[in-house]
Chain A
Amino acid sequence: MSARSELRIMRGREWSRPVRAARREVLSATPELEEGRPPLLFVPGFGHGAWAFAEHWLGHAASRGFPAYAMSLRGHGASEPAPEASLRAYAHDVVQVAAGLPRQAVLVGHGAGALVVAHALARYPARSAVLVAPVFGGWGVLGAALRRNPSGTLPAVFGGPLRLSRGQLFSRELPDAEARRHIARLGRAGRRAQWALLGEPEAEPAVGAPPVLVLGSPDDRVVPTSTLNRVARRYGSAPLLFPGMGHDLMLDARWAEPIDAILDWLEKEPAAH
Chain B
Amino acid sequence: MSTSTDHGRPDPEATPSALSRDGRPVSDRGDTICVIGAGASGLTAIKNLREHGFGVDCYERETGVGGAWNWRHDRSPVYASTHLLSSKPFTQFPDFPMPDSWPDYPHHSQLLSYFERYADHFDLRSHIWFGTEVIRVEPAAGERWDVTTRSTGGYGPERTSQYAAVVVANGHNWSPKLPRYEGLEQFRGEIMHASSYKDPAQLRGKRVLVVGAGNTGCDIAVEAAQQASRCWHSTRRGYWYAPKYVLGRPADQVNDSLLALRVPLRVRQWLYHWTLRLTVGDLTRFGLPRPDHRVYETHPIANSQLVYYVGHGAIGPVPDVARFHPYAVELTDGREIDPELVIFATGYLPRFEFLDASVFGDSAGVGRPTLWLNAFTPGHPTLAVAGLVQPDSGLFTLSHWQMVLFARLLQARRDRPDRAAAFAQRVRDRAGERYSAQVKESSRHWFEVGHADYLRAVQRALHDLEGK
Contacts and interface: CB of A to CB of B under 8 A. Distances in A.
Contact of B254 (A16, A102, A104, A207): A16
Interface string A80-96: 00000000000010011
B96 A102 contact: no
Given A5-B467, A10-B452, A103-B123, A207 B95 contact: yes
Contact of A103 (B96, B100, B120, B255): B120
A243 interface: no
A16 B463 CA distance: 25
B25 interface: no
A16 B466 contact: no
Of B256, B259, B455, most A-chain CB atoms within 10 Å: B256
Contacts of A124: 95-96
A22 interface: yes
A101 B50 contact: no
A15 B97 contact: no
B121 A104 contact: yes
A208 B404 CA distance: 10
Contacts of B462: 5, 7, 9
B94 interface: yes
A125 interface: yes
Interface residues of B, number: 39
A201 interface: no
Given A15-B256, A103-B123, A9 B101 contact: no
A99 B97 contact: yes
B121 A21 contact: no
Contacts of A96: 97, 99-100
Given A12-B260, A15-B89, A124-B95, A102 B100 contact: no
A10 B89 contact: no
B466 A99 contact: no
Nearest to B458: A9
A22 B100 contact: yes
A34 interface: no
B69 interface: no
A100 interface: yes
B100 A273 contact: no
Given A9-B459, A13-B260, A125 B51 contact: yes
B97 A14 contact: no
Contacts of B467: 5
Contact of A16 (B51, B96, B97, B257): B257
A101 B117 CA distance: 9
B244 to A, nearest CB: 15
Of B97, B254, B468, most A-chain CB atoms within 10 Å: B97
B53 A21 contact: no
B230 to A, nearest CB: 41
A96 B459 CA distance: 25
A13 B259 CA distance: 9
B424 to A, nearest CB: 19
A17 interface: yes
Contact count band on A? 20 to 34
B392 to A, nearest CB: 13
Contacts of B5: none
Nearest to B465: A5
Contacts of A207: 95
A182 B271 CA distance: 55
Interface string B233-271: 000000000000000000001111101110000000000
Interface string B388-405: 000000000000010010
A101 B100 contact: no
B53 A10 contact: no
Given A15-B256, A207-B95, A9 B455 contact: yes
B274 interface: no
B6 to A, nearest CB: 11
Given A13-B260, A18-B88, A124-B95, A273 B121 contact: no
Contacts of B253: 15-18
Interface in B89-144: 89-90, 94-97, 99-101, 120-123
B256 A12 contact: yes
Interface string A259-273: 000000000000011
B456 interface: yes
A104 B122 CA distance: 6
Contacts of A102: 120-121
Given A12-B261, A12-B452, 20 more contacts: A9-B455, A10-B260, A12-B256, A12-B260, A15-B253, A15-B256, A16-B253, A16-B254, A18-B89, A22-B100, A96-B97, A96-B100, A99-B96, A102-B120, A102-B121, A123-B97, A124-B95, A207-B95, A208-B51, A273-B50
25 contacts: A4-B408, A5-B462, A7-B462, A8-B459, A9-B401, A9-B458, A9-B462, A10-B456, A12-B256, A15-B89, A15-B90, A16-B253, A16-B255, A96-B97, A102-B120, A103-B120, A103-B121, A103-B123, A104-B121, A104-B123, A124-B96, A125-B122, A272-B51, A273-B50, A273-B53
Interface of B: 50-53, 88-90, 94-97, 99-101, 120-123, 253-257, 259-261, 401, 404, 408, 452, 455-456, 458-459, 462-463, 466-468
**Top 8 nearest A-B pairs by Cβ distance?**
A12-B260, A21-B100, A5-B466, A16-B256, A16-B257, A15-B89, A9-B459, A16-B253
